[in-house]
Amino acid sequence: MTTLKYIHIPVLVLALLGASCAVSPEETSRRLALEADIQSILAHPLDPEVFGETKRCLGENEYRSYRALDDRHMLFEGRGDKLWINTLRTSCPDLRRGRNDVLVVRSFTLRRICDSDNFAVADWFDRPWYRGWGAGMTCVFGEFQPVTKDQVADIEDLLKSKR
């Protein structure tokens, strides 16, 4: 009987800790509204001959930089002022806006990053990220949608206003 008592206490503590990490309905509602606003900005049709089509993959020679807009959206900047937004499959809290993070990508294709590829975020100075996988939590890319500078500015303004 004493053994069962000691087993129940840690289980109860873990259950209470898990319950305290739950997201409030207000926070969930705010997050869903923000995501809907971003999707509304991205829904404006672009001329595919000028901006290209949504891509499943970006070759390493197509983009020269990337940055997080928030924990769910990344901007990839390419040559010739090409821009793509990648809406990640789920939120990635390890993305820290404005930091010089390194993406440790586990890709199934050579020299490209693609929809469904996994990545982790590592701080450039935090640890030797180049030694392998396991830098942070695993995040998953979505498709690469072409966008305009105005759309990016609208998304950034929206995110600033919601902080």
DSSP for 12-45 reads HHHHHHHHHTPPPHHHHHHHHHHHHHHHHHHTS-
C-alpha angle 100-105-111 in degrees, rounded to nearest 5: 110
Q: Alpha-carbon distance 57 to 89, whole Å?
A: 15
pLDDT score at 136? 65
pLDDT score at 9? 52
pLDDT score at 93? 87
DSSP secondary structure code for residue 121 in this structure: E
Task: Provide the CA 160 distance to its chain's centre, in angstroms.
Answer: 17
DSSP secondary structure code for residue 82 in this structure: -
Q: Residue 77 CB: number of other CB atoms within 10 A?
A: 14
pLDDT score at 116? 94
**Range of 157's domain?**
2-161
Read off the amino acid at residue 35: E
pTM of the predicted protein model: 0.76
pLDDT score at 22? 64
How many domains does the chain divide into?
Answer: 1
Q: Residue 151 CB: number of other CB atoms within 10 A?
A: 19
pLDDT score at 24? 87
pLDDT score at 43? 95
Q: Which residues of the chain have pLDDT under 50?
A: 1, 4-5, 8, 12-20, 129
> For 114, left (φ over 0), alpha (ψ -120 to 50), or beta?
beta
| 120, two tokens | 């982790």
H-assigned helices in 21-148: 25-42, 48-51
pLDDT score at 19? 46
